[in-house]
Amino acid sequence: MTPNIAPAEPRQTPGLAPIPPVATRPIVEVKSVSKTYAGGVEALSGISLDFPEGRLTTLLGPSGCGKTTLLKIIAGLIPASGGQVFVDGREVKGPGPERAFVFQDFALMPWASVIRNVAFGLELRGIAHGEREAIAERHIARVGLKGFERKYPHELSGGMRQRVGLARALAVDAKVVLMDEPFSAVDEQTRRKFQEELLELVANEGKSFIFVTHSIEEAVYVSDRIALLSRRPSRVSAIIEPKIVRGGDPEKIRRDSAYLDVVEDIWQQLKHYLD
Amino acid sequence: MQISDLASALPARREPPASYWRDALIHPLVLRLVSFAAVLALWEYAGRIPLSPAFPTFLETMGGLGAIIADGTLYKAFLITLHPLVIGLAVSVLLGVALGVLMGLHEPSEWLIAPVFVIAQAAPLAALIPILTFAYGIGLTAKIMTVCIMAMPVIVLNTLGAVRNTPKSLLEMSRSFLASRSQSIRLVILPAASPMIFAGLRLGCAAAFIGVILAELLITPTGIGDVISYNQSVADYPKMYAAILAIIVFSVLFIELLERIELTLFRPESRA
Ligand SMILES: Nc1ncnc2c1ncn2[C@@H]1O[C@H](COP(=O)(O)OP(=O)(O)OP(=O)(O)O)[C@@H](O)[C@H]1O
Ligand SMILES: [Mg+2]
């Protein structure tokens, strides 16, 4: 094990490289959450996990291990069977204004234009038409879709639709952005571009991001912290903090030996879950 | 410079004639007209064989149509027929959509109400008309009821299915952005359901036309039903077929209009 990899409970582990002070406060705390679905499928069994504020934390684990389940429990979209989730110190009872979700399948309304989709969260909060369109316009421009405000989802490519979903989540100005495999439906070039943009968002927005991905490289590249989940019923098998030095040439980072080592380490751990 | 030189100087501007004609021929409008013309020609031919002395040719029927338009018979008949049709259809649409939405949103009410409509949709409802006559007499009420029992099941069941089929991810999305129940219904469920609801309305309208003509033929002859049965009894077949043709054309146009209304009012994305 490299010094980057620590057992599940980082706070109980002396010798762990300390997280910078700004991140010490957990914005989301998951406390022994378990979930058994109606059919008897036990998806999560007593997961405990902290998400540092202002950082991007990734949930990484084998397919079907319960990443989406955990994310939706944090979002308040499905109830946990046991345990508690705290966001910003308050217990989660349902969806809340301090959390916004980016859906894997975009979940755009096909009958609504881009601007209406982006402004939807604001519309639901009763913000006046002019004001919410102005806010939405800003976020549309921000995700690089200026000029597409009056288009409809079916006129956009998959990558553009995903940007609409992201703009919608940003428009409600939530503290915590939950993203379920947001880049899985786009090609590799777009994906890398999105990763850069995501890093920029994390650096500039002061928001906390919880990110789900299948890709080890992506997780290591974008995350401040990675929670490695075991197979169903899942627990946290390791917490990894890649500590990539940002701001350099992306190509160089991807060839950097520290980056490659972390990728390799995670691969070694996940390999056990292959049959 | 000669015309031929000009043409060869600009080869890209010239449509290759063969493909131009092929494109024109498979144009939807052309194909539709061809389809109409074929049916009418077949009709004309069958009338001339003649298939039966009671089957006029297309041109004779057009003559009959001219006659019943000119003497005002058709116009008066339509006004009478429209009366139970419009009332029955309005009731079916409003009540049908409301019931469908209610059942779609609230499962116990589905168990309570849906079986009636499932049975009604499968049953040969025309067989109920004698019972309706027994219960409501031979007046307007029985005719309105006939329109309703024909039109309502398909409207109700389509609306129910439409509401039930709201994409789960959109419901989750609206909940995650803090939609109240009523906002979810108004802003997500109904818009998502509207294409299928309208499909049900179109089928319902077609069924309503069947219902009103059945009522006018089987209960008491009034309106278009009267024109049909009277001309049949006096063996004026061109006029009889003209009345049948008129109601069919009217029904098609009406349903077409409904589709236009749907597209302009409810489906902005389809125009983009
Ligand atoms: N609504 C449900 N009812 C019953 N079982 C479910 C339901 N949703 C998910 N599951 C089961 O729970 C387990 C975890 O599912 P989940 O979608 O959270 O996995 P995941 O880690 O997101 O997988 P993937 O990486 O493939 O997206 C799976 O075995 C799945 O079959
Ligand atoms: Mg998933």
A64 lines ligand 1 (CB under 6 A): yes
Ligand nearest to the CA of B172: 1
A69 alpha carbon – ligand 1 mean position (Å): 6
Residue A11: pLDDT band (50, 70, 90) is very low
pTM of the model: 0.83
Say what the pLDDT of residue B6 is: 41
> Can you give the pLDDT of all 272 residues of chain B as single tens digits?
444 444 444 444 455 566 777 777 778 888 889 999 999 999 999 888 888 888 899 999 999 999 999 999 999 999 999 999 999 999 999 999 999 999 999 999 999 999 999 998 888 877 888 888 888 888 899 999 999 999 999 999 999 999 999 999 999 999 999 999 999 999 999 999 999 999 999 999 999 999 999 999 988 899 999 999 999 999 999 999 999 999 999 999 999 999 999 988 888 888 76
Long-range Cβ contacts of B106-115 (<8 Å, 24+ apart): B110/B160, B113/B156, B114/B156, B114/B157, B114/B160
CA of B108 to the centre of ligand 2 (A): 32
Question: From the CB of A43, is ligand 1 less than 6 Å away?
Answer: yes
The predicted structure's pLDDT at residue A184: 81
Q: Which of B112, B119, B158, B228 is nearest to B127 (CA)?
A: B119
> Which residues lie below 8 Å from residue B162, measured CB to CB, with a gap of 6+?
B100, B104, B192, B193, B194, B195, B196, B197, B200
CA distance B61 to B72: 17
Q: Which residue has the higher pLDDT, A12 or B37?
A: B37
Instruction: Specify the pLDDT at position B1.
Output: 41
At residue A269, what is the residue type? Q
Average pLDDT over residues A29-43: 92
Residues 157-186 on B with a CB inside 8 Å of A are: 167, 169-170, 172-180, 183
For residue A113, pLDDT beyond 90: yes
For the sheet containing A99-102, what is the strand order?
A: A5-6, A236-240, A225-229, A56-60, A208-213, A176-180, A99-102
Task: Extract the tokens encoding A154.
Answer: 């079916």
Q: Residue A214 CA: which ligand 1 atom is closest?
A: 25
Q: Can you give the pLDDT at residue B136?
A: 87
User: Is pLDDT above 70 for A214?
Assistant: yes
Which amino acid is residue B32, in one-letter code?
Answer: R
Does pLDDT of A5 surpass 50? Answer: no
**Residue of B15 and A16 predicted with greater confidence:** B15
How far apart are alpha carbons B173 and B171 in whole angstroms?
5
Planar angle of CA B149, B92, B110, nearest 5 degrees: 80
Answer with the residue of higher pLDDT: B30 or A2. Answer: B30
Burial B152-170 (b: 16+ CB within 10 A, else e): bbbbbbbbbbbbbebeeeb
Q: Do A95 and B173 touch (CB under 8 A)?
A: no
Mutate to test the pocket of ligand 1, among A30, A47, A65 (most ligand atoms within 8 A of CB): A65
Nearest-CA residue of chain A relative to B167? A107
Q: What is the pLDDT of residue A71?
A: 95
- The per-residue pLDDT for B189 is 96
Chains A, B: CB pairs < 8 Å:
67
pLDDT digits (tens, 9 = 90+) for A150-201: 999 999 998 899 999 999 999 999 999 999 998 887 788 888 888 888 998 8
The pLDDT assigned to A208 comes to 94
| Separation CA A25–CA B153 (nearest Å) | 59
Mean pLDDT (chain A) is 86
- Could you say which of A97, A109, A124 has the minimum Cβ distance to residue B191? A109
Predicted confidence at residue A70, as pLDDT, reads 94
Q: Which residue has the tokens 């880049």?
A: A183
Identify the structural domains of chain A with CATH numbers, from first to last: 26-98+175-271 (3.40.50.300), 109-173 (no CATH)
> pLDDT-derived band of residue A274, with 50, 70 and 90 as boundaries?
low
| Interface subset of A 208-237, CB within 8 angstroms of B | none
Contact check, Cβ <8 Å, A103/B172: yes
